[in-house]
Structure 1
């Protein structure tokens, strides 16, 4: 026992992890309405195995709070949380629950993109029109012909803000839009794929404001949040909900050298600074379309279940099937991303797509669509498996000792929820 504790203490020191008790059962919240997975050809043993991998992620010390919601065939077969909402390293930490809102960070982009697709559905914009048709100032510095579609697909040419621009710009929508509009484009025809970590969300919010007169949250409330009965699911949080939010923690190996420099280039500031900012009152009060939508795991899964159902939720039409199809359609072959500097990425106009033989959402997920959030937040739908999944967490490791458990969880979801829909047949019928 002594040796085991010494190992844990050493591991936590090296990986900046939190202390995890030997018995974690008291930190678990389970949805009593979980449906028997046998209805969908999945054994309860397999469901518990998936939960075991989720617990292992928490036990790594990298994520003070982890929550997962998995729907199969529209039924919630796994909806649980484990860990602390706040005070993870204190003597009296606050336990998290299924109702704890978590910042989705970049997974917010999938929701913002769907709002832009809704504008197109209603005839308020044309995705093939230049952004500058609606926001004339965006035409500056070679961006006049960049289309709304290219903006959604990370080809707008303004993936970041200059180093000398203060991060407080995030909290001033008008100033942020002015800054992005005056920046030169990487290329004037959108040929360069470069992930827009922050900038795209401000331009999307401005598009919504220009054509509807509504703020980002007002439009989200009208289109998604209220029709789908969400408690949270908004950019930023109301003041009364600040005390309930999951606090973010900088965990994992310290990022040094080229890793830290690239992350700073993408995020605008270093990882530890991002974590500090995300816990600030200013961030909680802001509306940042690319970075601060708050939701529970169940709410995020509910959103992707709605997309999986062709834009319908409990008899209400949120998006048309054609709008969903347009939003999740691959925008080109897998291509090198000049911002992320990783393996070739597959994008649609707003979503990160899965890949074969392995992708963001696990092995053999070619038909999956969703989005990654900083750093181990994953929200997606896989029509081939008829699943809608969200994994949300509060630790922000880039390199940590949780990676094996996370891969096992993703691989376990892919293998447990075996393909049940012939996508090739569906595509052939559509075409």
Structure 2
């Protein structure tokens, strides 16, 4: 496999690690990017975007990043906080009054983003197609009783956190998550989409399912609601309908270069890659502060959560335990390392059963740190 793109001097080990993933048969198609101090030092891609290996993976190829999109969502929320539109410590109900029902009046924005709200999924049966109806899902969340006492434990919200965060953004800005991201496409050329047009769908890579289901550990009622009910995700809906819908926590499509750039202000003192200011120091500190730490009720890990990003206590996002990140179903990930002014993103289409810490991404990230 011959990769394309570029690797700056001093980062050849990253290119070698990328090609090794292909040589070992771990990849179909993939891309990887690293930004340090505002400069893109790695932007490589290789393999194929289709099932029969006829269509090369190019700089225009997009792939679904599943839950890695939560890192993008975390950035959008931090931007709203920096602009004075949201407060992490304010109740969600301050911006969304109906959300106060069933004892949810004190759940803060930060608690919601750090998976403490107790709304990890819907226990009662519904049509999987309901996930494509934004207003219907938000109405269900507003009247839902938490499955555990909010603020007492973290339990991963695979789908619902995207609707709660997205609804707050809509209420304070008048724009949906997809519309916010479109602004970055127009102004900065970033290729990230939440809710796709037909021409964008045509660029999306084929993504073969993993050979086995992820290991969720011992099953409980929270994991059932979050992942295992027939309606826990928009299963069996038409692919085009799913891609056209906005599911901010699970169906963003992107390339690695754009993902590494959009979260770079977290690591670059609040500045874009061109140096323009974006996030206040106060917003960054609040976004990255630990909000809760403990055994997750849904994922089989002991986790430390910031306001939407995982803190790297398990070193799933490279060797620096002071970094942050988020992973997506199948193997993708986004990494934020303020200590090294570094962000990185890995996107692929050959899906593995890894929930977080996919070995392909870990190899790439380890190679990055040997070059610093």
Tell me if both proteins adopt one fold, taking TM over 0.5 as the criterion. yes
User: TM-score normalised to the size of structure 2?
Assistant: 0.88
Structure 2 unmatched ranges of 5 or more: none
- In 2, the alpha carbon distance for the partners of 1:120 and 1:405 equals 34
Equivalences for residues 375-414 of structure 1 within 5 A: 375-398=330-353, 405-414=360-369
2:279 matched to which residue of 1?
Answer: 319
Secondary structure (helix, strand or coil) at the match of 1:384 reads helix
Structure (1 or 2) with the larger CA radius of gyration:
1
- In 2, the alpha carbon distance for the partners of 1:202 and 1:383 equals 28
Deviation sequence 1:112-160 (CA, Å, 0-9, x none): 2222233333332332222122222222222121111111111111011
1:29 matched to which residue of 2?
Answer: 4
1:280 matched to which residue of 2?
Answer: 239
- In 1, the alpha carbon distance for the partners of 2:219 and 2:254 equals 28
Deviation sequence 1:74-108 (CA, Å, 0-9, x none): 33222111111122xx3x63221122112221111
User: TM-score normalised to the size of structure 1?
Assistant: 0.77
> How far is 1:327 from its partner?
1.1
Secondary structure (helix, strand or coil) at the match of 2:157 reads coil
1:348 matched to which residue of 2?
Answer: 306
Contact 2:31 2:347 in 1 (8 A): yes
1:53 matched to which residue of 2?
Answer: 17
Deviation sequence 1:305-350 (CA, Å, 0-9, x none): 2322222222433222322222112224x311111022x1111111
Contact 2:346 2:361 in 1 (8 A): no
Secondary structure (helix, strand or coil) at the match of 2:76 reads helix
Does 1:70 find its partner at 2:34?
yes
Higher relative contact order (CA 8 A, sep 6+): 2
- In 2, the alpha carbon distance for the partners of 1:82 and 1:266 equals 34
Instruction: Say which structure is richer in helix.
Output: 1
Change (3 A) 1:320 1:287: same
> How far is 1:61 from its partner?
4.0
- In 2, the alpha carbon distance for the partners of 1:360 and 1:186 equals 28
Contact 1:62 1:252 in 2 (8 A): no
1:331 matched to which residue of 2?
Answer: 291
- In 1, the alpha carbon distance for the partners of 2:142 and 2:261 equals 35
2:79 matched to which residue of 1?
Answer: 118
The alignment covers a number of residue pairs equal to 368
Change (3 A) 1:326 1:251: same
> How far is 1:280 from its partner?
0.8
2:207 matched to which residue of 1?
Answer: 248
> How far is 1:406 from its partner?
4.5
2:188 matched to which residue of 1?
Answer: 228
Query: Which of 260, 271, 282 is matched with 1:301 structurally?
Result: 260
Contact 2:267 2:340 in 1 (8 A): no
Change (3 A) 1:283 1:58: farther
Does 1:267 find its partner at 2:227?
yes
Structure 1 unmatched ranges of 5 or more: 1-23, 38-46, 418-431
Query: Which is further off, 148-157 or 133-142?
Result: 133-142
Contact 1:73 1:386 in 2 (8 A): yes
- In 2, the alpha carbon distance for the partners of 1:49 and 1:275 equals 40
Change (3 A) 1:182 1:410: same
- In 1, the alpha carbon distance for the partners of 2:248 and 2:359 equals 31
> How far is 1:351 from its partner?
0.9
- In 2, the alpha carbon distance for the partners of 1:97 and 1:189 equals 44
Change (3 A) 1:85 1:50: same
